[in-house]
Structure 1
Amino acid sequence: MIVIDPGSHIPPFEQLRAQVVDEVASGALAAGERLPTVRRLAEDLGVAPGTVARAYRELEASGIIETRGRNGTFVSFHGDPAHQQAQRAAAAFAEQVRALRLDADEALALVAAALRAGGTAPA
């Protein structure tokens, strides 16, 4: 739950930005989850719409959220820490596959088999 402390020395937009980052990192806000509109969140928090708009712009610039036009604003899949870690693991695996000169289809079959096995290594 996001709360703005009007007595804080931290500007309201920064309080909002930091709390959204924390909620994404903790999993309280999941990748793909829709966020309230600027006006709705501003009204709920008792701040000006420009405050929420600025926080959303900064969150979008850092890849935490994404705006999909009239469809709304969502937590980005790229901003999700678990997704980022999976992307790094996939990139490392791809690099190893290239170094071993394995066929991409064979490498994907190995991943599929490992996932089906529940992460246990084949004998």
Structure 2
Amino acid sequence: MKYTQEHEWLDLDGDIVTVGITEHASTQLGDIVFIELPEVGDIVKKGDEIVVIESVKAASDITAPLDGEIVEVNQSIVETPGKVNEDPESAWFFKIKVEDPTELDEHMDEDAYQEFIE
């Protein structure tokens, strides 16, 4: 598992990376009331804004953590956004087929992320 400075978690399986937000991000956002996900088949570049999240406190975006193609989205969190608050570590947002899995090396491991948020 890797983590971004934007408080996303990244879980690599082969060349597919599952992306969600961390518990820290969920807590900072408060109750999430709306999520807009990218479309399956979208080609994204690292840094592209691809997810919109609205909560009772703020609106936020998730940026693509890596270059690749969106291969799956979690429609259940669009229908029930509160699932992200209940269990952010399992309420994933999308899966991306990455062009270069070594790009994950640029992101933090769990220890580095814990230091980052303290």
TM superposition score normalised by structure 1? 0.29
Higher relative contact order, chain-length normalized (CA < 8 Å, sep 6+): 2
Higher helix share: 1
Bigger-Rg structure (1/2)? 1
